[in-house]
Amino acid sequence: MGEAKKLFIKTYGCQMNVYDSERMAEALGGAGYVATDRADDADMILLNTCHIREKAAEKVYSELGRLKPLKAERPDLKIGVTGCVAQAEGEEIMRRQPLVDLVVGPQSYHRLPQMEARVAEGHKALDTDFPEEDKFETLQKRPRAARGPSAFLTVQEGCDKFCAFCVVPYTRGAEVSRPAARILSEARDLVSRGVREVTLLGQNVNAYHGAAPEGEGPWSLADLARGLAAIEGLERIRYTTSHPNDMADDLIQAHADCDKLMPYLHLPVQSGSDRILKAMNRKHTARQYLDLIARIRARRPDIMLSGDFIVGFPGETDEDFEQTLALIEAVNYGQAYSFKYSPRPGTPAAERAGHVDDAVATERLRRLQALLERQQKAVQQAMVGREVGVLFEKPGRMPGQIVGKSDYLHAVHVPGPQDLIGQVRRVRIVESTSNSLAGELI
């Protein structure tokens, strides 16, 4: 056998893409590739892309432009585009940028090795199908290498919600839940390789309803969390992203009595105005969201809340925007993401009237982010003096320091020995700095 070929993957977008990039690297590992973290010495470069906002999608074309000299220098270099831009734009990518050899959408990654073989023979390869077969089944085989203490695990993919602004139902396809038995076995394998925390991923992860291990079922996300909690050595379970309308009672209850389920919930609401929520097709009101938060907090008072917000959705008035600020005030978020509305081709909202002036949207985003930042800081500051669990992940920047994530997902650094990496320890928080917390081992 010749020398191993080198694979460089650049990942954009959400955590699901991070998970997919790992799976693709493994799938191509079987075709003789080893991962490299340098584009300039790779034999194949894959851009695993995101289509959620215009800026995200345009990044791909500028990155491809930057690869041009590299390809000119080394014509054998293979360049591929994967992910949601690949799904949304397909062949158009090769038209706009002829240096691209391979385009593959998220539901066809299990076909990558065959596609690579075609590309190696000098052909172009394109696959943006939504095939019947389960990509995860063939993508499942991971090499038995050790890995870091925290891992992503995709349990559900696709979305049937069709929010008026969103491309995900088109790029990821219909909502599909993986069978629980496969998830449990993947989790056991991860634990055997050093993983202590899994974050279950899905575009609507709390809508999970996969086949139960014993054939009865389906299992809900709460059932899955309890099933995973029974795995010895797995210490923490997280999940993201959830939709308010799928926040079932058994899941709320699991936050009260399943110790391994971490007290953190990413529950996007997008807007605090009922008029805008309706136009967005979110199918709930601001009041229903606030009532839900109250029910969750009644059972898990310390739960950390996180959200996503869009400003400048078509038709959003100053009053609608004030209602969003009021909702944020009422919830008190520990963490949040916020965006200016970006019209996406093919989505219902892209065709609508009521365009919000860019300067207005920019100013709204600034005010919203200032409020969220104040909340975030205050929530972080309130951790000082408290005792929390921390899963240590790596050495810190200072000598003799280790860093990890608290139960509430804050970065925490403490003075401590390296051999605690991979373990959960109790820590007393002593200081809140700009991006992290400082603590002491108890």
Residue ranges in contact with ligand SAH by CB under 6 A: 52-53, 165-166, 168, 203-204, 241, 243, 268, 270, 308, 310, 339, 341-342, 344
Cis bond before residue 241 (omega within 30° of 0): yes
Separation of alpha carbons 357 and 360, rounded Å: 5
Tell me how far, at minimum, the Cβ of 257 lies from ligand SF4, in Å. 28
Question: Which string of x and - marks every residue 73-112 that binds ligand F3S (by CB under 6 A)?
Answer: ----------xx----------------------------
The reply to whether 166 sits in an annotated binding site is: yes
Contact with ligand SF4 (CB under 6 A): which of 113, 169, 218, 415? 169
Binding string, residues 233-262; x marks residues near ligand SF4 by CB under 6 A: ----------x-------------------
| Spatial separation of the C-alpha atoms in residues 393 and 403, rounded to whole Å | 6
168 binds ligand SF4 (CB under 6 A): yes
Cα separation of 360 and 248, whole Å? 37
Element (H, E) at 18: helix 15-29
Choose the stretch contacting ligand F3S; rule: CB under 6 A; options: 113-121, 129-137, 165-173, 317-325: 165-173
At closest approach, how far in Å is the CB of 119 from ligand SAH? 31
Cross-strand bridge partners of residue 48: 11, 82
CB half-sphere exposure, 76, CA atoms < 13 A: 5
Near ligand F3S by CB under 6 A: residue from 23, 78, 111, 172:
172
Q: Pick from 201, 200, 156: which is nearest to 176 by CA?
A: 156
Strands laid side by side in the 44-49 sheet:
33-35, 5-11, 44-49, 78-82, 102-104, 125-127
Alpha carbon distance 427, 442 (integer Å)? 5
Does 84 carry a binding-site annotation?
yes
**Which of 260, 174, 178 has its CA nearest to residue 213?**
178
Question: How many other C-beta atoms can be found within 10 angstroms of the C-beta atom of residue 432?
Answer: 18
201 near ligand F3S (CB under 6 A): no
Does residue 258 have a known ligand-binding role?
A: no
Residues placed in the known binding site: 14, 50, 84, 159, 163, 166
**Which chain residues interact with ligand F3S by CB under 6 A?**
13-14, 16-17, 50-52, 83-84, 167-168, 171-172
Residues placed in the known binding site for [4Fe-4S] cluster: 14, 50, 84, 159, 163, 166
